[in-house]
Amino acid sequence: MDVEADLSRLRDAAVQQQIRLWLALDKNAQSQQEAKRLIKEASEEQLKEVFCKHLKFGTAGLRAHMGAGFSRLNDVTIQQASQGLADYLIKRHGADICSTRGIIIGRDCRHNSERFSHLAAATFLSRGFRVYLCRSAVHTPLVAFGVLHLNCVAGIVITASHNPKEYNGYKVYDENGAQIIPPVDADIANAIQNNQSLWPEVEEVFDRSKGFIFVSEDKAQQLVDPTKELTEEYLSSITADLCMRKEETQKSSLKVVYTPMHGGLGVGVKCTRTSVDEQCIPDPDFSTVSFPNPEEEGALNLAIKKAEENNISFVVANDPDADRLGCAEKVNGEWHQFTGDEIGIMLAAYLLEVRVKQKKEKAKMLFISSVVSSSMLKAFAEANGCVYRCTGTGFKWIENRAALLQQQQSLEPVLLYEEALGFGVYAQTEAIYTISCSSSSSSTASFFLVMLA
């Protein structure tokens, strides 16, 4: 394709300049081809949208369509984000701390997630970081748990959560295992802006043609796959609480249909007797559901169909990165999908019972929900002599408040939730007080099932 000839049709020189800049930065053959097709076929207004607008980094990190251009997620924007974050972390903690404590990187099963996670890992490795790279798809809460378990300076998850298949994202977790909040997001955004030129050292550890990181023998110890260790620790951390009703659970005849909606949790977890097999297979196209969000109408249709076929009255669902939990029950022949507030208050009652059996002090028990959630949790906590706090909308505020109150007042978080089906359950051991970071609806599903039993 004659790119310059195609660019000459554009009236705005600034648009031409931005397109040339992106083409010069991009080293991915596939996105180069896509960009050249757009230059030839797209309108000038469309090209301005793709190449002249830049992604804005915020508390949720980045989330956008995948594709060529500065306003999309691709090799260029992923590397720029990683360069900025690396620069910020080195200035905040120092190079030596970043080298020893390191950063953990996980990803979901979406298109390009593996490639983006390897590119991010290569970027940090090129700056001397110890990198814990989860080589297979994992659920988001495992990475948040890993930040604290491995004492990392930060964590990254390449995921667009429950968004449609065309999207991907770049979530960042602080050293406390919670999603970042202001002013950290602005500081990282500034660092990204100051690191737009791609670092050449990354090419020494990243194979562009294959999309994989590779390391020389002298750097091998700085690149670790923590997936097996973290999964074992994560599961063992909730075992004690799950076993509080072991006898009743073993005797229970409860049957539940479970679906991970094609997410990474379906790879290694079979937590119910009946699963939606079609949705237990990681699928970047989400072939059986148009919008993989348990909140959305119709998202549980396949699970409910499976339940009807097997005469089962309960359905439990996680979204693809397992930070949302949806549940439904068949009552008098009709299916009722529980709201986040309903699930929250049921879990609160069950978890309080568990903590009392564990001889925990009620005055130290902490329950948190967001301002858009029901006031039921506040009334419940106060009626039982527990501590309740309310935060702004967004799980990042909830989990950061929990971490702060735990540190400053020695309160013991029990349940965090917001009505948008985000839940965090803290177990009894000190180690598991990290599990709720990042809306751990994967572990919450297990607690919910034990509660039902």
Could you give the residue numbers annotated as active site? 161
Apex 161 CA angle, 208 and 274, nearest 5? 115
Which residues share a beta bridge with 314? 256, 329
3-state secondary structure of 317: strand
What pairing do the DSSP bridges indicate for beta strands 103-107 and 154-158?
parallel
Buried b (16+ CB within 10 A) or exposed e, 290-327: ebbbbbeeebbebbbebbeeeebbbbbbbbbbbbbbbb
Terminal-residue alpha carbon distance, the chain:
64
DSSP per-residue codes, 2-66: -HHHHHTT-S-HHHHHHHHHHHHH---HHHHHHHHHHHHHS-HHHHHHHHTS-PPPBTTBEEEEB
Query: How many H helices and E strands in the chain?
Result: 18, 17
Tokens standing for 186? 């602005």
**Tokens 């984000």 sit at which residue?**
81
DSSP per-residue codes, 10-23: -S-HHHHHHHHHHH
Q: Which residues contact 35 (CB under 8 A, 6 or more apart)?
A: 19, 22, 23, 26, 68, 69
